[in-house]
Structure 1
Amino acid sequence: MSPPSPRPEEGPSPNQEPWPRRWRTFRVFAATLVLLYPMDWLVLGHWSLTTLGVRLVWASHVLLHGVLWRKLGSPWEKRLSSLNSVLTSLYFLTMVWFTGAGTSPYLNMALCLPLMMALVRPMDARPAILSGVTCALGVFALLWEEAQYLHAVNWASMVGTATFIGVYGSVHYRKAQEALHEASVERARREAMERLALAERHRAQTEKMATVGRLAASVMHEVNNPLAFVRSNLDFLRTEVMQQPLREESRAELAEVFEETRQGVERIRQIVSDLKGFSRMDMEEPCECALADVVTDAARLAAVRLKNVARLHVEIPPGLPEVFATRRRLAQAILNLLVNAGDALEDAQVRGGEVRVTGVAEPGRVALLVEDNGPGFAPEVLPHLFEAFFTTKGPEKGTGLGLSLSREMVERCGGTLRAENRAEGGARLRLELPVPARGPGAKA
């Protein structure tokens, strides 16, 4: 038999194969041929220098084949393999001749040699065919010379049958490999087309969102100017009105109205300021920040969406460790989670809807749970929840990018974002962020 050879149809050329590993294979096979010499003693009943010489020549051929395989490279590989299969069969027949010819136990291996060639090189049928032809003719000649004419025909027929089976199997293996390769190429082509379409949709959506962002920035600038006049005029009116002689009841009522109006104007100013900050989040560098402050920023904006949908409960322990993140990017991710919770409660028409944000300190990290008492995630939706452009909302409500972008923002901060259903009903999104390690000289 011959040592395994690389298949150019399936992998790189010999010059690209790791030579030390391949050369070790040739050496091991050559050494095995020599070390099996004691089997000749068991067959013959005595030591034979002739069979030892055949084995040494055979082993030398294996090593020479390895050197030529390395030096000549891919263009000569098929020729070398064909020549090697013929010479290997001749060495084997020589061993059969010197160990008893028709009575040699090695004769039974004549059936196996073509099969082994087909197994070693399934993508090339020629080595198996050449080995089968050489073995069939050699066995026929050995037995015919001993006047075992019927055995000669039978053995030649069996070797031919074994060769046919090996070649037939290798052909079907090759066809199966080609079919698998074609299917893999087609699957890769479809996946590439899908990724291209997805990237194109993402690009179009990004451009649209960038345009909306620029428009929003202009609107916020325009809102700030009249808002400043409203605040100034409101303070002036409050001062003037409260200086007028009024009854105590009217004075208290007017003071309450002015205070509520001032809070409303201040809320508008804060929302505009937050939106302006979110539009500039890419310019902000990550730093250590308190999770309570980040949640407060997100909750202030989310309150506009949740106002008539659900009650928002925030439970952040005061001693929660700080996290290392881009504050406004993290606030945007939390805002997306809160808005999604509000949309789910509104779509399900939940009465008495609640959204709860809870902070939990864990070893080496901080977890933030965003939960609602809505219907939760459907089993078929949960595996695709964070895929880009996947959404269960109508086109007028969502683009399918909110949760995908939220996970990306969280992962940029070194954290994770997972979704699950609560045992008591409703959805839960678990956001985990690592706590930055502090050196011995760091401030606590």
Structure 2
Amino acid sequence: MSIKLKIPLIMLAALLLNIVILLCYFVFYLSVRVDTYQVKMQQTVSEVAQEIAAAIDGESLDLASEYLSLYKNPKKLAFVLTDTQTGEETNWNMGKAESIGFTQTSLLTLSGHSYVLLVKKQVELFNFRTHGVFQELLYFEFAVLLVIFLLLGVIIHFRYVSSLLKLNGAMHLYKDKKQVLQETDRKDEIGKLQTSFAALSRSLEAEKQVQNRIISSISHDIKTPLTSVLGYSERLLKKELSPQKQQQYTQTIYMQARDIEAIVEEFDDYLSLSAPRKEQLQKYKVSYICTMLEDEYRLRLEEQGIVFTLWNQCSDNTEIYTDLLKLRRVFANIIGNSIRHARVTGLQIQVSFISSADKLFITMSDNGNGISETDLPYIFEPFYTSDQSRRISGLGLSICKQIVEGNGGSISAENLPEGGLLIRFTLPLLPIPSRI
């Protein structure tokens, strides 16, 4: 359950707990005290009424008034004398009219007239100091709230704050020692945050390994021809060489420099490739792309003894939006990869185009030796090679993957049962996908 739901539920539970505790406290403790207070106060009022009636009954009204005025009244009782004939009232210590309380009446004779003596203990409903029950309930509520808040603080600290502090510590630990954080089974926001950070740290570690492999591969690939360039340059500078040798060394230096240039350019292409911008995309018919490939490769490959076959099974009006220069780079990299690694006599390269309702399927295959099943899942990774003793910069298929996926498609590879490698990639047909 998420924290945004847990916190209100915890607060609601605390409120209900507070109400239950107050009810229990009142029912099992305060109500007994209230009953006792009522009994004692009613008894006190009755005793005072009897005492005053016995003292002033049969006396004069003035004497009775003086007695009531001077009566020691620690309980702060109110007295009322009412003439039964005229209804005239005389009172002492009367409070607010809306107050309630305990009363006791007695019939008296004063100065030859009948009077009713009313003795009353007034209790103001909203005055907590009238008696200690409400005041005690208020103090108890403060104590309960303090305990509940402390309990809530402990729960929130150990359940949420400590988890955040641990996560923060794990982040600093990863920053200092690159120790990857483990995932958690928690389903709330903190658990999702920890899981996301764990996935991010693993991704960063994987990316770091790729970068280290890239740096190592580039360094090795450049170092080899660079060593050759330095060696032959040193010979040219320090030795008396025949014109033939000078020409040979100069040619070697030039070829090695071109190899370095090719490595740097390929690496630069790999770093600069990204999703094509809309202004780079243009509409092309598939038939036009097929004609372009025929013109570009058939004759050149036939001169090298390679059979190039192309099938277009799309309708004439099938169109795609693409960056044609980058798409040509995909075909060039895959065909070049087949020529370099097929290692068979009578190499054959086949290209086919098939369309569905919203996708263009392009397959490119050869009759070479294929790739081992162990290495097959990794051939689109940059600088991957099955021969760990050789770090040959191989970015061609990785560049193909970037271009195809940047154009909204996907690419995969598989070995053919009869031998050879098949690479299949898809491109979206019109209309243009929203992500392009």
TM category (shorter chain) comes to 0.3 to 0.5
Larger Cα Rg: Structure 1 or Structure 2?
A: 2
Q: Which structure is richer in relative contact order (CA contacts within 8 A, separation 6 or more)?
A: 2
TM-score if structure 1 supplies the norm length? 0.44
TM-score if structure 2 supplies the norm length? 0.44
Structure with the higher helix share, 1 or 2: 1
Structure with the higher strand share, 1 or 2: 2
